[in-house]
Chains A and B, each alone.
Chain A
């Protein structure tokens, strides 16, 4: 092996040197000498020598050819595999999964205070807004993870439930004057109800057909919201959605407000911090319920359904009901997130609930690793955080974004965290995770 790799290096060096020589011959003329009208010499034609540029060009050719020889053209392994060896392997990521959860949790709880002390009330606002956005997507990702990751039902219209939640809150507040805390559970229930309504006819479909119908459902909801002008306001959206209160205390200036009651100086950042903790708690509840359900019979039935539906039926599991619970539960958490979205924005319109939202949420779940809770967090931070972070790149950020997704999928085709932990063990904590190669992705 070592003789072979020595040989490979020698051959590659020789080839690269030859390439470099040709480049030198070409570039010394093409780049090295530049004919110029020298202004100082009365319009005489002169030659400017640029040997540094030639050296750089030759070095690029030499280096590029050497690397391509070593890793692509003459390599034994395909380039993706070689690239993979530079990345941390699954074994190195496994302890990450174990420690990441408490680490992320502590960081998430402390985040507003860290930001406040680092940037002050004014400067930290944009970062807090970003954190709220990321956490919302974490919650949506966790909700969708129940449907796609655990039950293996490909849902391309998840944003419909997000929309149902948002519009439930906005409309209930507008027509009946309900407060956020009454509307939150109602929005979840309504979204779950729509999940069941959609689920009944749809869940007998499998795979691609299910994906298409859920996609259509997502669009139908949006189009209905767009066109039912008298009820939903159509493209004008709904504005003036009431803000949430802190147990009855509103975030307002003066007497009776949150700041006044606690003897603080009024600052608009209080409300932002409150919203951040609100979505954090909602997301954590989603996570807690999901993790809990995974260890219950219903969660195991979801995963069994993903593995083999026919075997499930032969064991007496009512697959329709089991799918419906997954769908309804996922929809419910989507509805909660939706009503949070409405109260945070104060304004919603159908434009916020386009297909691309569903795609982003699904991408978070898939990139994170189907069924992995911590994977969803990492993927949401990378995708949403990265997306906002690279706003400076303007139109190129889509390019960066696409490239990033390709790299992740080449490196880890089953998502960032793809090991499945058994829901119950005989040997206790010693039990190992199950490699993603063995786990099915579900067929619908």
Chain B
């Protein structure tokens, strides 16, 4: 029994997702350990992003159960919740493979939007806000402080009032993580956070993710192709191929798994010959 099975923050059980005749995910089960960095890897088209979309409510799974265990002891069945409640109540935040920032809004505004729900409450659903009551002003100041903290952590504080669309690519990736963190998540789902980053930015990203995990009681589930990120920071790696789990374990275990090597690099010619003989080709 591995560490992630004893105290999971997210449990995925028998998850199946079909798009018409196409089975994108087939009977997938794994656990995401509390406080772990869990990597979901696999070749292109393996169904990684589909898993994310199921977890964050953008898809409704065909079968299976996704349970979020919050640290306060509450359990949420994510497959039954509308997407916005998954973020608001179950505290699962995500980033996107193709960055989705609010480009025409400043960095600070992006982070303020992420704190919409607590601020909305504090503004008395806008009534207290219109009259500028002190309680709302204080909540707003706190929200700005939180935003400032995350801008600081992601080295974006100098450009706080610049529009998000003006940022270089790497900065946009970091801003998306900062924005997700501003919603106060317990599980952070990152869809290829290192895609398009140079080695230096990749290293900074590793440091940032480890900082988040250590300081903020946030578990991280990430999809990644960049093996330097995966192998260096992941506690637990789940490998998907054609919608099925082919390997599950620590980074070192997975690296040496012949199934994983076969999925990524293909199999030796002799092996193909044996299989072809078996099926009579």
Contact = CB atoms under 8 A, between A and B. Distances in A.
A315 B91 CA distance: 10
B116 A317 contact: yes
A297 B139 CA distance: 11
B70 interface: no
A197 interface: no
B9 interface: no
A318 B84 contact: yes
B130 interface: yes
B233 interface: no
Contact of A296 (B101, B103, B129, B163): B129
Nearest to A295: B129
Size class of the A contact interface (CB-based, 8 Å): 35 or more
Contact of B161 (A292, A310, A325, A427): A427
B101 A308 contact: yes
A307 interface: yes
B104 A438 contact: yes
Given A426-B148, A427-B160, A438-B165, A315 B116 contact: yes
A203 interface: no
A51 to B, nearest CB: 62
Among A318, A427, A432, A434, the most chain B Cβ lie within 10 Å of the Cβ of A434
A318 B56 CA distance: 14
Contact of B183 (A306, A310, A315, A325): A315
A313 B92 CA distance: 12
Interface string A32-45: 00000000000000
Contacts of A413: none
Interface stretch (A4-12, A14-22, A118-126, A416-424): A416-424
Contacts of B112: 297, 300, 423-424
B87 interface: yes
Contacts of B130: 289, 292-293, 296
Contacts of B58: 310, 313-314
A423 to B, nearest CB: 6
Contacts of A314: 56, 58, 83, 87, 93-94, 96, 100, 180
Contacts of B161: 422, 425-427, 430-432
A438 B144 CA distance: 23
A301 B116 CA distance: 7
A426 B129 CA distance: 19
Closest 8 CB pairs of A and B: A439-B104, A316-B87, A316-B88, A307-B102, A297-B119, A311-B100, A431-B161, A296-B129
Given A297-B123, A300-B112, A315-B84, 14 more contacts: A293-B129, A297-B120, A298-B123, A304-B116, A307-B103, A313-B83, A316-B87, A316-B116, A422-B106, A424-B140, A426-B108, A426-B148, A426-B161, A434-B104
